[in-house]
Amino acid sequence: MRNKKLVAALVPSLWAAAALLLTTSVIAEIAAEPTAAPGVTSSAWTPITSVTALFFGVESLHGSFDLPSVLFGLAIILLTSVLLGSLATAFLIYCLGWAPHPAAAALLGAALGLAAEILLINLLCNWLQSDNGIYTSLPSWAWFPAWIAWGASLGLSLSHKSRTAPSARTTAVEGVGGGVSGPSPLLSGDPSPDPLPHPPK
């Protein structure tokens, strides 16, 4: 039961990570712009492998599929999304309550995603990477819509999960006592019906 609750709590952050990865990969593949690695242009893999390059150097930034670099980059992106998503989820619940309206959750989530982009990419990663490998792994403007998509997906997923949970609990409670419809004759305050009259002899 605890494992199921843990997985359910991580679902919004995982959906947000999927939106981030999809947005960055599509834009990077279409743009095909030069990156920090010599001779490597942006592709669907550069936003992922550039995260690996943050730890192991620019040699880990690849424009094509490289299994170790891709797996490590994905792991760091998912971990980052879970950590940031947990903080953002707490802030969303604090501001909007446990069952926020989808539009409000998406708008506030998008604002949080934009703030995360400025802090994480523009400030932290560019400070750690002298060549700005992550920042230039796709067109620099593309990080803004990508993180907005991250925050909006987080808010929408949280809203959907919190709104469907009460109905699921109600269904479960009703299912426990199912099988007999109508009031119980033992608990009813109505008088017992008159017995059927005997047929005449």
For residue range 50-102, what is the model confidence (pLDDT) as tens digits? 999 999 988 999 999 999 999 999 999 999 999 999 999 999 999 998 888 99
pLDDT digits (tens, 9 = 90+) for 124-136: 999 998 889 999 9
DSSP label of 197: P
Please report the sign of the dihedral spanned by the C-alpha atoms of residue 105, residue 153, residue 41, residue 51: positive
Residue 103 predicted with pLDDT over 90: yes
**Phi-psi category of residue 48: left, alpha or beta, with phi > 0 → left and psi -120 to 50 → alpha:** alpha
Interior CA angle at 86 toward 166 and 168, to 5°?
Answer: 15
Question: pTM to 2 decimals?
Answer: 0.76
Q: Where are the alpha helices (DSSP H) in the chain?
A: 2-31, 46-56, 67-96, 102-117, 126-128, 143-176
CA atoms within a 13 Å half-sphere pointing along the CA-CB vector of 200: 0
pLDDT confidence bin for 3, thresholds 50/70/90: low
Domain layout of the chain by residue ranges? 13-163
